[in-house]
């Protein structure tokens, strides 16, 4: 079966062919156009999914808009029997979804209908979900509203996809409609949500730090400069919200209730580092107040 793979530039796998499993021929890869990188935005480097496609000598399509007529013609020329979409970042028009004989399936990182939208993994952590998983769904023109083909309670998308595609080919599967009354949303993360509110309970703050690791990073203000925190865990302690209680191998910061420990930080304009290195560089000290 010939499949066309749509993936976000950050989607990184050792092999796209291994991702979909044996018996499937990857007709091509669709990803967003190359963007400038580097401090001065003066260079362009291949994205993770493009690098994987180049290594396997696959056709690569990089449309600015997936609705462009010339892109639709290029997809038809590849003659895929099935399209696979994994965090591509664009809503695909109905005409594009219908090009493959078997339609288009999406790999969504939640147990639909829960957490429809662009940020299901981050939202699951933020909201304290004890269980989430992967849904392989038949795509329609809505936002993650199509019928479900297969679900796996696991964070490993590739295993769920291989299993779902194998079942689709061997048994045809019977898509089951989502219960729209039970749908919850996982909208794209906004800049203001990334900032840490130290008046919140420690467990809530720790979830935010974990949810935004590695990107975009939960941040606070330290000595009037942005500081991102990583490796967050909740524990005991008290004091003025934002007060740095300890600054050593880790930072321990007071919250509205309890305290949060962060093992790594990233100061503005610098690389991610161990908390100890930041402390040794006199970037922060016990008694500082983060805001």
Mean pLDDT of 248-274: 95
Token code pair at residue 230? 């990583």
Residue 60 has pLDDT above 90, yes or no: yes
d(CA 219, CA 179): 36
The position carrying tokens 């091509």 is: 28
Mean pLDDT of 140-148: 90
CATH number of 191-280: 3.10.25.10
Does residue 234 sit in helix, strand or coil? strand
Average pLDDT of the residues of the chain: 89
265: DSSP letter: E
Mean pLDDT of 232-249: 93
Given this structure, which CATH class describes domain 2-182? alpha beta
Residue 156 has pLDDT above 60, yes or no: no
In this structure, what are the phi and psi dihedrals at residue 166, rounded to the nearest 5 degrees? -65, -45
Sign of CA dihedral 221, 225, 228, 234: negative
Q: Which residue has the higher pLDDT, 116 or 167?
A: 116
Mean pLDDT of 46-50: 82
Mean pLDDT of 167-174: 69
At residue 227, the pLDDT reads 97
Contact 60, 50 (CB under 8 A): yes
pLDDT tens column, 65-115? 999 999 999 999 999 999 999 888 888 999 999 999 989 999 998 999 999
d(CA 205, CA 180): 31
Residues 6+ apart with CB under 8 A from 141: 91, 93, 94, 97
d(CA 21, CA 143): 27
At residue 190, the pLDDT reads 92
Mean pLDDT of 195-219: 94
Mean pLDDT of 256-283: 95
Q: Which residue has the higher pLDDT, 129 or 243?
A: 243
Residue 204 has pLDDT above 90, yes or no: yes
Delimit the CATH 3.40.50.170 region(s) of the chain: 2-182
At residue 171, the pLDDT reads 65
State percent of the chain over pLDDT 90: 62
- Rg of the chain over Cα atoms, rounded to whole angstroms, equals 22
Delimit the CATH 3.10.25.10 region(s) of the chain: 191-280
Residue 157 has pLDDT above 60, yes or no: no
Supply the pTM of this predicted model: 0.71
């Amino acid at each position: 079966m010939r499949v066309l793979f749509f993936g976000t530039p950050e989607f990184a796998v050792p092999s796209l062919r291994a991702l979909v499993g044996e018996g499937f021929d990857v007709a091509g890869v669709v990803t967003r156009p190359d963007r400038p990188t580097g401090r001065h935005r003066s260079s362009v480097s291949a994205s993770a999914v493009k690098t994987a496609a180049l290594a396997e000598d696959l056709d690569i399509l990089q449309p600015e808009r997936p609705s462009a007529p010339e892109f639709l013609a290029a997809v038809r020329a590849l003659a895929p029997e099935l399209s696979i979409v994994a965090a591509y970042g664009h809503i695909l028009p109905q005409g594009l979804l219908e090009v493959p004989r078997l339609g288009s399936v999406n790999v969504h990182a939640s147990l639909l209908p829960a957490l429809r939208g662009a940020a299901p993994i981050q939202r699951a952590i933020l909201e304290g979900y004890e269980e989430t998983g992967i849904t392989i769904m038949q795509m329609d023109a809505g936002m993650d509203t199509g019928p479900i083909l297969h679900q796996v309670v696991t964070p490993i998308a590739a295993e769920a996809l291989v299993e779902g595609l194998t079942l689709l080919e061997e048994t045809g599967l019977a898509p089951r409609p989502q219960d729209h009354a039970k749908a919850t949303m996982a909208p794209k993360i906004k800049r203001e949500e990334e900032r840490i509110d130290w008046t919140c309970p420690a467990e809530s703050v720790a979830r935010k730090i974990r949810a935004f690791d590695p990107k975009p990073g939960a941040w606070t203000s330290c000595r009037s400069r942005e500081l991102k925190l990583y490796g967050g865990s909740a524990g005991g302690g008290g004091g003025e919200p934002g007060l740095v209680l300890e600054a050593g191998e880790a930072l321990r910061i007071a919250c509205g209730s309890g305290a949060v420990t962060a093992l790594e930080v990233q100061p503005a304009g610098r690389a991610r580092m161990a908390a100890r290195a930041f402390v040794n560089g006199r970037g922060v000290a016990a008694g500082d107040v983060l805001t």
